[in-house]
Amino acid sequence: MAISDLDMFLRMGAAAGLGAAIGSERQWTGRPAGLRTHLLVALASATFMLVSTQFVYYQHYGRDDLVMVDTSRIAASVVAGVGFLGAGVVLRTGGGIKGITTAASVWLVAAIGLAAGSGMYAVAAATTGVSLFTLVVLGHLKRRVRSLVSRRMVILLKETGRNRAEVLQRIEACGAVVAGVDEDHNLRRKRCRLTLDVQAPDGLAVEAALVRLAELPYVLRVKVHRPVE
């Protein structure tokens, strides 16, 4: 059934507004894809859905023309195509990955746009509400519940025989816990690289550990990787 231009504009406006709501949260938290990206993805998805369901009514088919229309193809292509856009906001930082949640939100607003474009306002609004609850409330709860901050420390030092034990002792003396240790020995240059997964009550404990490590004469370099969100 053909719908009016006003109804199509309403569906497009609903998709843009709901997508902007999720994009505002992402932009407020400083994520790679913000308000404009989410709004455009949702609006584009709604437009694709409207085209897939309404384009047949704008064609001038003859009375005896055989017309077969599969309205699901464009929507299915949107789901696959938005995956490439979401991959663009996923970044590799150090030893981890950043941007997974933002990529998921970009993919989600495509679904919201498709729902709004098909006239399923209740589904689109409910999805937006659950999404905002997940991003805002659960995100805030995650930050409050997480009592320890995680860091990956890469330490380059000279081989002295007892250096590893002293390094670990100094880090733990600052209140941090070493959860994992990897060693890479260069026997010719007599160098050792320690990769430590460290958990500390706050960032100050990590900074204190850096000060303590700097006092050791055989420590050549220390690199600290930030935690991945």
**Spatial contact of 154 and 193, defined as CB atoms under 8 Å apart:** yes
**Same-domain status, 65 and 140:** yes
**pLDDT number for residue 229:** 45
The answer on 18 and 43 residing in a single domain is yes
Residues 6+ apart with CB under 8 A from 165: none
Same-domain check for residues 103 and 193: no
Would you state the pLDDT for residue 144?
58
- Torsion sign (Cα): 97, 99, 105, 111: negative
Query: Domain of 193?
Result: 149-225
pLDDT < 70 positions in the chain: 32-33, 61-62, 64-67, 69, 71-72, 86, 89-98, 140-148, 160-162, 226-229
The total number of structural domains that make up the chain: 2
